[in-house]
Amino acid sequence: MGEHILSWMTFFPVIGAAVIAFIPGGRKSVIKTVAAAAAAVPLILAVQLYLQFDRGSSGLQFVEHHSWIKSFNIEYFMAVDGLSMPMMLLTALLSFLCIFASWNIEKATKGYFAMFLILEAGMFGVFCALDFFLFYVFWEVMLLPMYFLIGIWGGPRREYAAIKFFLYTLAGSVLMLLAMIAFYLNTSDPVTGGHTFNMVHMFDQNNHSPWLQVTNVRHLLWMALFIGFAIKVPVFPFHTWLPDAHVEAPTAVSVILAGVLLKMGTYGLLRISYPMLPDQAMWFRYALATLGAINILYGAYCAMAQKDMKKLVAYSSVSHMGYVLLGMAAMNSAGMNGAVLQMFNHGTITAMMFLCVGVVYDRAHTREINGFGGLGLQMPRYFSFFSFALFAALGLPGLSGFVSEAMIFMGAFPAFRTITIISALGIIIGAAYVLWMLQRVFLGPKNDKWDNLPDINAREMLTLVPIGILVLLLGVYPMPVLDLMKVTLNNLVKVVAG
């Protein structure tokens, strides 16, 4: 597996899905075990990746480069660098844990786990594809399983939420598709001179045709790519699919959606938009920072207004992704590193929150914040896990969210003073909605209705503990993740900011 480690990571889940297709639907425990095994292998490989990754290099590593479709110069080009490494690790970890978070799926178990594994493959593929066509295929491959995961196993309004998610993302994707074609037709391979989908060639501005050097064209392409990615992030005003999708999706799918899928938007900006159109990134940075600030504040205010726990967490994601945008817009080392670290940290923290919401929803079949009260007495262990996650979300020093948010502010402050100061208000509002929810759900007089709720069980703790350890560890010592990415990102800063 050594040479093709990325391919194995990406396609092993597909093999798992294929195996599941041949297991009779009634053998549910067999199906779950196969799914767990199929997700475990990429996790083990991710550990191997982590150990072997050369932290001193900004170049591509574990490269796999083959010709795929000659007549279009499409290549099978997979590799990782410091930007994709944290995302690969996050995907491997969350996917594996989510298999266990889905253990109680009884409806059409076979289809669920098959879809889930295909989704996992798509996520890995997006994070290590370096051929634009390949990237796009992986990007879109995730849509179908996601549609069905929300639409079949979701809540009461699942059909609406599923098609809304699908339509929004596809609308973004086709814009990206058009930009991709424009790049393809206007980038020449320095060796052969033909058109190419190779992203590395697209990064090099010398390979661009004269048409692609016209400022207005570049602005348009930037906007097409930006909207495509912004819908995924989601950036205000493209965020309205998110609360619906999150609320209706089953717990594990929400975790993947918030933990990994949202990162694809910001990953795409950093992987594709920034290096391909660096001057446009500079041109757009005030707008990006402003949108980030809007996301932070608007998301936080919306979160505060929610009565449904899951919707609150969903809006908190909007808010937290705003920090990522702000850090990216700063275009300096602290901001950029903070942004990618925040992508990783938000992935873990929000995963914990969604898992915690799932725990109570499985028992009480409601997520109405005001319907609870005094749960801290009834479920003490659960209380500690949930409050740990919530404190991490509000950026308590010592937990990982604090580190990345602090880095982002350090980076953003010299770049845009006013916007950063306004954005910092988001922390206060963040604390407000988090603490207010904590108070309404866990403190105060106990609601007798919930006298019979059992505390969190071993399986649920199994999904929470590893993430919790990571959140704590990275809060105290973020270097394991920062080390992976800083060389690459500092290099990117140089490319973009000159």
Partner 1 sequence: MELLHVKIPSWADLQWWLPELVLCLTFLFALIGDLLARGRRPVVPFAIAVLGLAVAGVLAVVDTGAAAPAGGRAIMGDLVVVDGLAAFFRLLFLFAGLATALFAWTSEEIMGRRREHKGEFYALTVLMTLAMMVMAEARDVLMLYLSMEGVGLASYVMAGYMRTSLRSTEASLKYVVFGAVSSAIMLYGLSLLYGMTGSLRFDGIRQALLAGGADPFGLLVAVVLILAGMSYKIAAVPFHFWCPDVYEGAPTPVAALFSVGPKAAGFALMIRFFYSTLAVGANPAASVALIDAINWPLLVAVISAVTMTFGNLVALRQDNVKRMLAYSSIAHVGYLLMGFVLLSDDGLAAILFYLLVYTLMNLGAFFFVVAVNNHLKSEELADYGGLFYRMHWTVGVMMVIFLGSLTGLPPFAGFVGKLYLFMAVMDRQWFWLVILAALNSVVSLYYYFRVAKVMILSRPAAGADASPLRLHWLQYVVLACLAVPTLALGLFFGSFKDLADASIRAMAGG
Q: Which residues bind partner 1 (CB under 8 A)?
A: 68-72, 111, 136-137, 140-141, 143-144, 147-148, 151-152, 158-159, 162-163, 166-167, 170-171, 174-175, 177-178, 181-182, 184-185
Pick 177 or 258: Cβ nearer partner 1? 177
**Number of residues assigned to the chain:** 498
**C-alpha span between 260 and 121 (Å, rounded):** 12
User: Between helices 215-232 and 158-185, what is the axis angle to 10°?
Assistant: 150
**C-alpha span between 366 and 360 (Å, rounded):** 8
Q: What is the DSSP string of 256-289?
A: HIIIIIHHHHHHHIIIIIHHHSHHHHHHTHHHHH
- Residue 51: exposure state from Cβ atoms within 10 A (0-12, 13-18, ≥19): exposed
| Ramachandran area for residue 193 (φ above 0: left; ψ -120 to 50: alpha; else beta) | left
CB of 192 to partner 1, least distance (A): 16
Which phi and psi (to 5°) does residue 474 adopt? -70, -20
| Ramachandran area for residue 130 (φ above 0: left; ψ -120 to 50: alpha; else beta) | alpha
SS3 428: helix
CB of 231 to partner 1, least distance (A): 11
Name residue, tokens 């938007």.
265
CB of 420 to partner 1, least distance (A): 36
Q: List beta partners, residue 129.
A: 78
CB of 399 to partner 1, least distance (A): 39
Q: Is the dihedral of CA 424, 427, 433, 435 positive or negative?
A: negative
Q: Which two tokens stand for residue 95?
A: 């996917």
Cα distances (angstroms) measured from residue 379 to each of 220, 308, 347, 383: 54, 19, 25, 6
CB of 67 to partner 1, least distance (A): 9
Residue 251: name the closest of 164, 372, 359, 385 by CA.
359
Pick 17 or 90: Cβ nearer partner 1? 17
- In 28-165, the DSSP E strands lie at 61-69, 74-80
Q: Which two tokens stand for residue 23?
A: 């297991």
Pick 174 or 421: Cβ nearer partner 1? 174
CB of 221 to partner 1, least distance (A): 11
CB of 222 to partner 1, least distance (A): 15
Pick 72 or 286: Cβ nearer partner 1? 72
CB of 241 to partner 1, least distance (A): 13
Cβ pair 399, 392 in contact under 8 A: yes
**C-alpha span between 269 and 258 (Å, rounded):** 17
Pick 110 or 367: Cβ nearer partner 1? 110
Pick 60 or 170: Cβ nearer partner 1? 170
Pick 79 or 141: Cβ nearer partner 1? 141
Pick 144 or 431: Cβ nearer partner 1? 144
CB of 228 to partner 1, least distance (A): 11
Pick 100 or 183: Cβ nearer partner 1? 183
